[in-house]
Amino acid sequence: MPPAADRVVTVAGPRELREVTEGFTEPEPGRVVVEITYAGICGTDVHGYTDGHMLPPAVFGHEWTGRLSAVGAGVSGLQRGQRVVGGVGPACGTCPQCVAGHTRQCETAFAEANGVDSEAPDHGGFAGRMQVSARRVIPVPDEITDVEAALVEPATVTFHAVRRVAAEFGALVAVQGAGPIGLLTAQHARNAGAGNIIISEPSAARRQLATRLGFHTVVEPDDLQAAINDVSHGLGADVLYECAGVAALLQPSAELVRRGGTLALLGYPLQQSTVSYADWQSRELTVIGSLAYNHEDFLGTIRAIVGRKLDVTALHTGTVDLSSLRDLLEELDSGQSTHAKVLVRPDDSP
């Protein structure tokens, strides 16, 4: 039997967390109970913590993995003890986007991805346990470790972006930012057939991690334009993935792309950006925004990890318990942390 109560940590205000205990309840029809193994900390969690009110409750701690401890009535294909990750369901087939034939833009799956669907859980994975819709869980194969499972969600965010860009084989790709999102994007771009990949990153520790992942041209931001010019003979990048999420970088990033090239937006700045509309138009840039993912992106990401085409373990730089969550959020917000991806476990076990 599961324990009578579990710890749950949520955002209570700017730089304020609230911890409560939540008693176990049997899952409602169509829902399951997940015993959390790990939940990853991402930039969205940090922003939600410092802002205090911007995130839907389910989003704070949305990178989670665990085991099913209970399965509600009407759920098929899932069983107790099964390892799962949090994701989104297949295209629903009934929303306006699906009915119009745009299943990749399914409104039901998009709402699930952003934690605003009617079945969204009351809190995220910074907890011992959570109850979610069965649509939201995706089984994890035995070939994937628990740490790898905890990194499936951010890896799927980047899989989705590279899939949307669909760059030509041999493309010159630049990746701006070597945090977890940038390094995962670079690996997916390599798998998708990029010819040259140039990564820029101000942190020496993250540049070293990029090199360990097999990327040979890893530079400081001030040297990015020269590196691109050297490979492209001055034309610019075929594709630039903006993964830093800094509003002031949007126009400078666009200027690193060749005429007719693609600017792909993964970073999510919280401030307004100023761009040169005339520049983008006259150079016929393709600008592709990317947010969240589809159900099939999870399946593709898991296959890449199983096939050892994607190294997510290298990004794991620390594990803490729920009691240390606040300190880690403060450290990550400081801009001085050397961590890439920190995982949170629900208890104090080693």
Are 78 and 137 in contact, with CB atoms under 8 Å apart? yes
Q: Are 96 and 219 members of one domain?
A: no
In a domain? residue 300: no
Q: Are 43 and 135 members of one domain?
A: yes
In a domain? residue 350: no
In a domain? residue 232: yes
In a domain? residue 307: no
Q: Are 145 and 10 members of one domain?
A: yes
Q: What is the CATH number of the domain that holds 236?
A: 3.40.50.720
Q: Over the chain, what is the mean pLDDT?
A: 95
Chain segment 255-292, per-residue pLDDT in tens = 999 999 999 999 988 888 899 999 999 999 999 999 99
Q: Are 201 and 146 members of one domain?
A: no
pLDDT at 5 over 70: no
The last residue of one of the domains, among 274, 289, 304, is 289
In a domain? residue 133: yes
In a domain? residue 322: yes
Q: Are 164 and 277 members of one domain?
A: yes
In a domain? residue 190: yes
Q: What is the CATH number of the domain that holds 30?
A: 3.90.180.10
Number of domains forming the structure of the chain: 2
CA distance 50 to 47: 5
Q: Are 23 and 142 members of one domain?
A: yes
Closest by alpha carbon to 158, among 312, 273, 285? 312
> What are the respective helix, strand and coil percentages of the chain, to the nearest 5?
35, 25, 40
Q: Are 171 and 146 members of one domain?
A: no
Q: Are 119 and 189 members of one domain?
A: no
Give the angle 129-132-136 at the CA atoms, nearest 5°: 120
Q: Are 74 and 175 members of one domain?
A: no
Chain segment 101-133, per-residue pLDDT in tens = 999 999 999 999 999 999 999 999 999 999 999
Chain segment 17-71, per-residue pLDDT in tens = 999 998 888 999 999 999 999 999 999 999 999 999 989 999 999 999 999 999 9
In a domain? residue 87: yes
Single pTM value for the model: 0.95
Chain segment 201-237, per-residue pLDDT in tens = 999 999 999 999 999 999 999 999 999 999 999 999 9
Q: Are 227 and 272 members of one domain?
A: yes
Q: Are 138 and 217 members of one domain?
A: no
Parent domain of 205: 158-289
Pairing mode, if any, of strands 172-176 and 196-200? parallel
pLDDT at res. 349: 53
Q: Are 78 and 172 members of one domain?
A: no
